[in-house]
Amino acid sequence: MKESVMAAYVGNFCKFTLPRIKFLSRVDTYCHYAKSITSAVSQPRKQLVLGIETSCDDTGAAVVNEDGEILGEELQSQHKIHLLHGGIIPPIANRLHAERIVNVVNTALERSGVSLNELDAIATTVKPGLPLSLCVGVQYGKKLALSANKPFIPVHHMEAHALTIRMIEKVEFPFLVLLISGGHSLLVLARTLDDWSIIGKCIDDAPGEALDKGARRLKLRNIPECSSMCGGQAIEYLAREGNPRAFEFPTPMWRYRDCTFSFSGLKYTLKRTIEKLEKEYEIDGGRILPQVKDLCASYQYGITKHLVRQTQKAMVYIETRNLLPKENFTLVVSGGVACNQYIREALSLLCTKMGYKLFYPPPKLCTDNGIMIAWNGMERWKAKSGILYNKDDIEAVGFQSKCPIGEDLTEDVRTLGIKIKSWVKFR
């Protein structure tokens, strides 16, 4: 009896209840997909900008959205090729950019999952840089914009370096920027996206160039562990085990009450010191000096000391002229040389002493890349500033090897006659 009742119960369950469960399951599934579709439709599409960078020896491209998310990127460096020639050879850089630009841009787009038609704009470095390098990116960027009927955004390379930090940190205008790279050394006041003032600039070699040429003269490429490093990296690596006070290097511009940079004197002192030691130890050919680590440490210390002192002067000038509200006492450090950890630590001590907040992008974003160009383009896209829509205007865009970043306040700095009562000390 019990078995027959159970059988009847199971039969009724299968007959009436299971179909209802399946129906409800289908309804739930439908509702789930409907909800997903509604959510996707209700959320506005995020704005997208493609950035292209070819100002020197790196071919880069990236796609970023308005929130600073990197959707896709590609970067191909020519470093190892130019290392064989002892420096960047512009015609070689031009050829390599031309060979790689299409693949670099396509790879960045593929990785982002975004088609050319989905982009809001295309941004490209147009100044400053090596003319034979810039021309490749500018021509291709313009061609791409015109073929896809997209707005074109010309980008100032140094502005892009300075604003990269705003992609990852909440840094509000105005703020102080120290841009240090292989081609530049600048202290700039960033007031707005279109309002910049130069407080200090380099009158000869840039710090990155001084480090690279110093490494070349020290023959650091002949040390196995340094063979694939750029000059600045090799000097920093060896300096960790050296004595920064072993050799005395002059303090550039110490008689001048401005924030101007000069690294030629440091480079000349290194050259003379090497020549003296090579003669003393009878070093020739590719042999390395016994004191190479001490030389690297002392040279790096000399360069860092100069950077820190000129930045300290700039901070005093800003406070005297009341150019920044105290809540905006912020120093942003960017450019390839900003990857140097020793220099970062010294600037950190300076900022602590002067009451500044210190920000710098991660090393990957300090060197030249397509991401910083895409983000600068996004900043301009959101601000509706410097965007070209007209075909004739886009076709008329050229490139510039040299271009100031803003108003030059150097003379006003000199007129003020800055005096530093106590220099920041670092080891």
Report how far residue 247's alpha carbon sits from residue 307's, in angstroms, rounded to the nearest whole number: 18
Edge-to-edge strand order for the sheet containing 407-408? 357-359, 330-334, 175-180, 185-192, 195-201, 407-408
Q: Return the closest-CA partner of residue 133 out of 165, 167, 97, 101.
A: 97
Domain extent listing, the chain: 48-168+368-395, 175-360+406-416
Provide φ and ψ at 28, rounded to 5°: -60, -45
Note the pLDDT of residue 43: 63
Would you say the CATH fold of 175-360+406-416 matches that of 48-168+368-395? yes
Helix (H, G, I), strand (E, B) or coil at 397: coil
Domain 48-168+368-395 listed as CATH 2.120.10.30: no
The pLDDT, as a whole number, for residue 350 is 98
pTM beyond 0.85: yes
Per-residue pLDDT in tens (0 to 9) along the chain, 427 residues: 444 444 443 344 344 443 443 433 444 444 444 444 444 444 678 999 999 999 999 999 999 999 999 999 999 988 777 667 667 889 999 999 999 999 999 999 999 999 999 999 999 999 999 999 999 999 999 999 999 999 999 999 999 999 999 999 999 999 999 999 988 899 999 999 999 999 999 999 999 999 999 999 999 999 999 998 989 999 999 999 999 999 999 999 888 899 999 999 999 999 999 999 999 999 988 899 999 999 999 999 999 999 999 999 999 999 999 999 999 999 999 999 999 999 999 999 999 999 999 999 999 999 999 999 999 999 999 999 999 999 999 999 999 999 999 999 999 999 999 989 899 988 7
pLDDT for res 206? 93
Q: Tell me which of 3.30.450.20, 3.30.420.40, 3.40.50.920, 2.60.40.420 is the CATH number of domain 175-360+406-416.
A: 3.30.420.40
For position 376, what pLDDT does the model report? 98
